[in-house]
Amino acid sequence: MTKVMTKDALPFIYHVTDVQDNALIQQIADIEHVIQPLDHWHKPAITDTLAQKVNHCGVMLHPKTITINKDEDETTCPYKVVAYCLFSKVFEVVDILRIGTHPQYQRRGLAAALLTTVIDAMARDMTDRIILEVRADNNAAIHLYQKLGFVETHRRRNYYTTNPLKTGVTAGATVLEIGKETGSTLCDAIIMQYTRLN
């Protein structure tokens, strides 16, 4: 793991470079499970993704020693992952694959800081644009991306299954009932893009 950027105040941003960094990858998978219960990535998927040279992961770390118990292997990690951004870079395009913040640390600007780091590196890395996909019912994320300069370029209709326990799907989301027994619905995926101006 190499340090990419630090700030006077914690947490820090690090770039995960070693797929053997199991403790950090497990924490990312654990956050995924909590914030994306219907379509989260498991640890093997994250590890396999990071094993490919075009894929990268930035994480926000808080200096808090935690113990991770997974599959009978106990690991102690001196840092707690509080936010992460998995992305790929192929030629001049960055594709944000996954981004998330631990629920206890949401609404503190951590996801914005991670995305801003990617945006700020565009000229240096010769990147022309960043693309990402977001659920149409995720208003907080859509607002954040728009605030950072992302614009909607496309919609995938009825792409995601919506949590039947979730309430208040908002305007702009296309939702269809697909099962009276389960209450499951479908939700659009919005493709958004940030384009470097110079």
Element (H, E) at 109: none
Question: Is 75 within 8 Å of 96 (Cβ atoms)?
Answer: no
- Rounded to whole angstroms, the Cα distance separating 160 from 158 reads 6
Residues in the chain, overall count: 198
Question: Is 115 within 8 Å of 100 (Cβ atoms)?
Answer: no
2-5/12-16 β-pairing: antiparallel
Q: Percentages helix, strand, coil for the chain, rounded to the nearest 5?
A: 25, 40, 35
How many DSSP H helices and E strands does the chain contain? 4, 11
User: Using only C-alpha atoms, what is the Rg of the chain?
Assistant: 17
Among the listed residues 84, 145, 160, 194, the single catalytic one is 145
Nearest residue to 99 via CA among 112, 90, 80, 86: 86
Active site residue 181: no
- Rounded to whole angstroms, the Cα distance separating 188 from 198 reads 32
Active site residue 177: no
User: What residues are labeled active site?
Assistant: 133, 145
